[in-house]
Amino acid sequence: MPPLQIKDYSWQQTESAVYLSLPLRGVRPGNADIFCTENYLKVNYSPFIFEAFLYAPIDDINSKAKIGNDAIVFTLFKKEIGMWEALSLASVDKEMMQRIREKSVLQAQAKAKELTEAKAVAKREDERYALKIMMEIEENERKKIEDLKENERQKATKELEAWKEQQKNAVEEEEEEEKIKEVKMCQQKKQIEKEIKKSQDKKTINHIKSMKSKNSTKGKNAKIIFSEKLKDDCVPAPRSTGNIKIQFTPRVFPTALRESQVAEEEEWLHKQAEARRIMNEDIPELHDLKEEEKNPEWLKDKGNKLFGTENYLAAINAYNLAIRLNNKIPSLYLNRAACHLKLKNLHKTIEDSSKALELLTPHVADNANARMKAHVRRGTAFCQLELYVEDQRKNTTSNQKEPRKHNQELAGSTTSEKS
C-alpha cells in the first residue's frame, strides 16, 4: 500500500522565515522521520508522508522542528529575505523531483561528512591542547625539582666551604700558637745564656744548670703522663676471659620434637636419599624437571589427580617417572595397575599388582587394604583374560602367606578402587 500524501497542511511566512504546521493524525510523535535540506523537505510518519520542493533555499542548519502531540511545527529560516509565492515549486515533473531528491541526499551526506571531519578536527585540537597543557605542567614540575636540587646543592656547597674555612682557620691558629711558643722558648734560652755569661760564680752556673735539668725532667714527665692519659682514653678495656658452650642437635629432619613422628621422618629421608641417588645417575628424563617434579610423592599426587580426570595415559607417565625415582613404593605400582586396568592393558595390570604384593610385606593390618586392592585388580585382569585357573593359583599362593582375615576381606570385595 503506497503512503498517503498530506495535503491539509497550513503555512505562514514573513520576509525572513516560513512557519509550517503538519497534522500528526493519531501517530505517535516518536515515529516521525524528518529529512531537510536547502531545497527539499520530507516528513515520513507511516502511513502518511509529506514532501515539499521548496520555493527558495533555506538555512537547514538553523531551521527548527517542534513535534507536539497533534502536529509538527517547522520554523524554516530563509537564506534570502523576501516573500514566497508558494511553499513548493508549482511545475515539477518526476525527473526533476528525482534529481532534487538525489541532490538533497548528496548534500546531506556531504554535510554529515563535513560535520564528522569537523568534529574529528576539533577532537584532535582538544587532544593536542590537552597534551600541550600536560607537557607544560610536567615541564614546570621538572623545573621546580631542578631548582630545588640546585638550591640544595648550593646550600651543601656553601656549608662545605664554610667547614673547610673553619678547619683552615683552626690549623692556622694552631700554627701561630706553635710559633709563639717557639719564640718564647728562644727568648728564654737567650736570657739564660746571657745570665750564664754575666755570672762568674760557679755556684750560680751550677744552680742554673740544675734548674734547667729540673725543668727538662719535669717537661718529660709531663709529656709521658699526658701521652699515657691519651692512651688510656682511646684504648678500650680488655675483655674478660670466658668459655662459650655450643651444643648441636643430632636431629636431621627439621620438624620440632613435639611434632615429630620418627618412622615417617626416616621413611621420608630414605626416599629423599634414594631420589638423590637416582638423580646422580645420568637419566636424561630428569634433566629438565623442576625440584618438586623430582619428588616421588609429588608425582604420585599428580598421577592421582590425572586419574580423577580420567586422563589415564598422563597418570601412567607420572607413575612411571615416580617409579624411576623410587621403585620401593607399593602404592605407585598399585595405582599404575588401576590405570592399566582402565585402559584394558590386562597383562601390565597383573605385573603391577604382583609387584605391589611383593612390596607389601610383611602382611600386617596396616597394609591389608592395599593388598586387598592388589588382589582385586589382578583377579579382575585374570577374569577378563579368562584365565580362571591362573587366578586361583595366584590367589592360593598369596593366601598361604596372608592371614585368614584378609582372605575374608578379599572374598567380600567386588569392586576396584584407587588408593
Domains 4-92 and 261-412 share a fold: no
Statement: 261-412 belongs to CATH 3.30.420.40 = no
**pLDDT above 70: residue 226:** no
User: 10 Å Cβ neighbour count for 212?
Assistant: 13
> Could you read off the pLDDT of 230-280 as tens digits, one per residue?
555 555 667 777 788 787 666 555 556 566 667 777 777 777 777 666 655
Cα distances (angstroms) measured from residue 403 to each of 99, 366, 379, 393: 107, 13, 18, 17
76 or 224: which leads in pLDDT: 76
CA terminus-to-terminus distance, the chain: 79
Query: Where residue 416 falls among pLDDT bands split at 50, 70, 90?
Result: very low
| Percent of the chain clearing pLDDT 90 (strictly above) | 30
* Residues sharing a CB contact under 8 Å with residue 333, sequence separation 6 or more, in sequence order: 323, 352, 353, 355, 356, 359
Least confident window among 84-88, 136-140, 180-184, 207-211: 207-211
Question: In terms of C-beta distances under 8 Å and separation of at least 24 residues, what long-range contacts does 62-65 make, across chains too?
Answer: 63/36, 65/34, 65/36
- pTM higher than the cut 0.75: no
- CA dihedral sign, ordered 251, 253, 258, 262: negative
The H or E element containing residue 200 is none
Least confident window among 203-207, 303-307, 345-349: 203-207
Cell numbers representing residue 84 in the block: 514566497
> Could you read off the pLDDT of 344-403 as tens digits, one per residue?
999 999 999 999 999 998 888 889 999 999 999 999 999 999 887 766 666 666 555 554
Domain residue extents for the chain: 4-92, 127-227, 261-412
Query: Where residue 404 falls among pLDDT bands split at 50, 70, 90?
Result: very low
pLDDT the model gives residue 213? 64
**pLDDT above 80: residue 212:** no
118 or 60: which leads in pLDDT: 118
Spatial separation of the C-alpha atoms in residues 154 and 157, rounded to whole Å:
5
> Which fold does the domain 4-92 belong to in CATH?
Immunoglobulin-like (2.60.40)
pLDDT the model gives residue 208? 60
